[in-house]
Structure 1
Amino acid sequence: MDGWEGIEEFVAVARTGSFIAGAASLGVSRTHMSRALARLEDRLGAQLLHRTTRRVLLSPTGQTFLDHCIRLVQERDEAVALIRDQGEPRGDLRITCCVALGERFIAPVARQFAKQHRQLTVYLDVTDRTIDLVAEGYDLGVRTGNLPSSDLIAAKIASRRSRTCAAPAYLERMGTPEKIADLNEHDCLTGTTLQWHFSEKGDEILYRPRPVWSCNNGYAVLEAARDGMGICQLPNFYLNDAVQSGQLVPILEEFAPPEEPIWSVYPDKRHLSPKVQRFVAALKGTLPKAMARPD
């Protein structure tokens, strides 16, 4: 018996909500659909659909199974298209990235990518939770810094630099720190990063500030620094405008940390997928310029 039997039929019925519409979408008869679904449920030993006189509903088992079946069908179609050298991205592209990068940089790239590839549906999950790409069915993640050891494929797509800054009014009131240890005597403003990064004579130095204000939103930390509440360390894309306008002053520049890499990471089975290849290329072509410090 064909291991694929019933999979595509199940997806079609689940998506359209009826056997008749599902059969029409595949160009087969309603009888074929019913028999294929019945045999699939027999093989699984589980009921996937609740059938009523008016509509078809997914069982809890069917809902769980559906997500896997959709990806199976999409990956089959992508593999066939790749071999045929058609290569047009199609199906779903599921991306995850942190909030700081996602809202300002990744979302515009993903939006433009969706406009260019009309056979593709792009899902962007902006969250600071570290998502298991394989277990949760994501095609691609965007991550920063040193990556933990894993089976994921990583490609560097850009880098970002952080600076330590404070408002002129704060520095006039509290003085300007000359050494990293001087931060112990200052008011610090922190975000999601618990440790600040510095570098001295090529060695990385980690400093754990004791904040007077902390928020998991970089713009809120930026506004606190502008308001003269204390010293912050943030990526340049938060700080550039405020530094250029004189609202913030960079400090401890001789101890500035090296650039932090930004990676695209994806499961190894996705590396030949046209949608992943092209989106990674779009990120590489867009992010470095978007995140560059203005002249």
Structure 2
Amino acid sequence: MTGRPLTVDVHAHVLLPEIDRAVAGLPGHERQRELDARRNGPAALEVSGPMVAARIPLLTDVDARLAAMDAAGVDVQIVSPSPSHYHYWTGEEAAAEVCRLAADGVAAHIARAPERLHGLGLVPLHHPGLLVEALDQALARGLKGVEISSHAPGRELSDPAYEPFWARAAETGTVVFLHPFGCTLDERLDRWYLSNIVGQPVENAVALSHLIFSGVLDRHPGLKLLAAHGGGYLPYYLGRSDHGHRVRPDARGCARPPSSYLRDLHFDSLTHDPAALRELVRVAGPERVLLGSDFPFDMGDPDPLAALRAAGLADTPVRGGNAVRLFDLKDPS
């Protein structure tokens, strides 16, 4: 690492089979599996199963992970649970157990290489009363923050029930990683893997808009929120958000033009297009974008440094400096 900038990948996943074993057979599990299958479609399931199976070593074995990091020129990863572990259909007891297993599992995984791996836990968005406890549990395990989806069934991120969670996250300096899983457009996206290709960026844009327009970011100015997938579609159509805020009285739940809040948020670099990445840096600010690869899934980028070079950002703090600051990391270089 000495002699060159530190490279930090803030979007990398770990698979925790103990979570899936804990929820298998619980009431509602089969119904949720059927819903996911319907939303994704049979062709996607046929491809995704073998794809994930081929990546099990990268998702579970620390030595395989470190070797892949070395090959990609990545010094440090922020490891978060696979979003398939959210299980936002569970009851309170099972939800609390999922979050405990996530905190314990991620902590055990990163402990194998503490100089190179840091982790995030989970919180149960579908049970707001458990959120603060789950956040504190993750911090007690030495994790850097928690990962959430774009919504829970019947609840958007603007829900007032989440206010204690946002307050606690801001108070503790916890990073909240917004990573959607699934899309409620359902069968409209059940072909050609549109459930992910289109659905995930839609979910990012919807979730971030709820946080902005509802005033959550006004009420919790110290909140460290990191959005996956470059923030989805929102950063590239900000004019419409600002126009609506200007002309519509019912769109003025936030104190400032919506576009200005992008400089209060953080985004990973996973846009799959150098022009889009440069635009994200322009609208959010160069200190608000962090390298992210979605390791090791097929919708990620196996060579994230090449993406930075293509956008002319390889020698900027996007490569690692911004992550060192956001996650309060020690720079070994």
Quick check: which one's helix share is greater? Answer: 2
Name the TM-score, length of structure 2 as normaliser: 0.22
Name the TM-score, length of structure 1 as normaliser: 0.24
**Computing the radius of gyration over CA atoms, which structure comes out larger, 1 or 2?**
1
Quick check: which one's strand share is greater? Answer: 1
